[in-house]
Structure 1
Amino acid sequence: MCASVDLVDGGLAVPFDVVYGGQTCRAFAIRWQGQVHAYLNRCSHVAMEMDWQPNRFFDDTGQWLLCGSHGAAYRPDTGACAGGPCRGGLVKIGVTEQDGVVRWHTAFNLQPFEF
């Protein structure tokens, strides 16, 4: 998917495509507190892409992922709703980081976050 150095803590995301529900959808990977996390780029409030500018998901503090359309906030480590008009959490995508490379699990069964 990308080189490890492409993901800076609280910085820009790296976009990629996945198949979800039989359709090709955008997804994104971010780094937060040293760990890589990836999610389907789809707000749980309204099924639309979240980035408020290209590849920007973090708020100004670098602590929350925000939906640029309605202000829903999500935890960067779990995708759980942290505030705003969420209906559940983000769909998490499994990733690994090894030898300076980040990869997503193509065989991973994408599941919505459950409480």
Structure 2
Amino acid sequence: MNRRPSLPGAAELFRLTSAAPAEVSSVSSDEVAPQQRRGSGRTKHTTKITVYVSDEELMALEQARLLLRGSHGLGVDRGRVVREAIAIVLDDLETHGDASLLVRRLREQ
């Protein structure tokens, strides 16, 4: 009698957990308004980056998270706030190019 537990193999541990991305339509951009980016929300993320922030930036991010929860009833984590902010900034850059908030602020530095 074997007393060792049966453990899953690597294939079960590292399998894909989300569906494949939808097919891109062949409609020209003149016929359809550009699709707005969205943060990825609560999903398993496969890629990680490390971003260093100051103590003040981290405190502001945490205060924003608490404001979203307390005043708006949105229980989100800091990562979700950051992903949504990135989506907003990238949409603005794509839409407004040289006049985007990101370009203007980076030029100020």
TM-score, structure 1 as length reference: 0.22
TM-score, structure 2 as length reference: 0.23
Instruction: From the CA coordinates, give the structure whose radius of gyration is larger.
Output: 2
Normalized per residue, the structure richer in strand is 1
Normalized per residue, the structure richer in helix is 2
